[in-house]
Amino acid sequence: MSSEAERGGDPQVKKAENGGHQRQSPTSYVKEHWSTALKIIELLFAIFCIGLIVDPVNYGRLQNNLHHIAMIFTAFGGYMIVNSVLILGRLSGERIGWKTSVTFSLVGAVVFTAAGGVIISDWTKYMYNHVYHPSKHYMDMMISSGVFAIFSAAIYVVDAILTYREEP
């Protein structure tokens, strides 16, 4: 990214060797900023996951296992913070090491897989409970959060693979 783009100029314009400006092709722009785009997608998925699970936990009487709830909210909330910091760092021009980035992505994949698994497991438990059955609306929100968490884990794995292939 050029100094012009960092100061608010057109991010697709790169400084040419002779001092003039040269327009960057869309493919090279995507190749340069794919990592930031993936982090934004990961952040959006974490927001979707936490947004979908809040109402079932608060109003759907799904508060039986506080360990599950703590793990779910820690995974989603923690990675909302991590991805926000990484995005802001990249937008300000800071580069994070590839080993650190791969580690964040792999840990994110594990944590989101665990959270998604717990949500789907709890959903199954409530779905087939003959004594208490929460509303269909809350059950749909709960399974959607679990599915988004599993998709998020897949995105984290893709991010780790692409970062590993690109950086070293």
The answer to whether 37 touches 86, Cβ cutoff 8 Å, is no
Q: What per-residue confidence (pLDDT) applies to 6?
A: 42
Predicted model pTM: 0.79
What separation in angstroms does the CA of 66 have from each of 100, 122, 124? Answer: 31, 12, 17
- Per the domain annotation, does 118 fall within a domain? yes
- Per the domain annotation, does 148 fall within a domain? yes
Q: How many domains does the chain contain in total?
A: 1
pLDDT in tens, 29-82: 666 678 888 999 999 999 999 999 999 888 866 667 888 999 999 999 999 999
- Per the domain annotation, does 18 fall within a domain? no
Q: For the chain, what is the mean pLDDT?
A: 82
- Per the domain annotation, does 28 fall within a domain? no
- What is the torsion angle, in degrees rounded to the nearest 10, for the CA atoms of residue 53, residue 143, residue 105 and residue 32? -100
Q: Exposure of 88 by Cβ count < 10 A (0-12 exposed, 13-18 middle, 19+ buried)? A: exposed
The answer to whether 73 touches 117, Cβ cutoff 8 Å, is no
Q: Which residues contact 167 (CB under 8 A, 6 or more apart)?
A: 98, 101
For the chain, give the percent of residues with pLDDT over 90: 47
Q: Which residues contact 65 (CB under 8 A, 6 or more apart)?
A: 122
The answer to whether 84 touches 45, Cβ cutoff 8 Å, is no
* Cβ atoms within 10 Å, residue 58: 11
* Cβ atoms within 10 Å, residue 79: 25
Q: What per-residue confidence (pLDDT) applies to 22?
A: 64
Statement: residue 161 has pLDDT above 90: yes
Distance in angstroms (rounded) separating the CA atoms of residues 156 and 102: 9
Statement: residue 142 has pLDDT above 80: yes
- Per the domain annotation, does 17 fall within a domain? no
- Per the domain annotation, does 15 fall within a domain? no
Domain extent at residue 147? 34-166
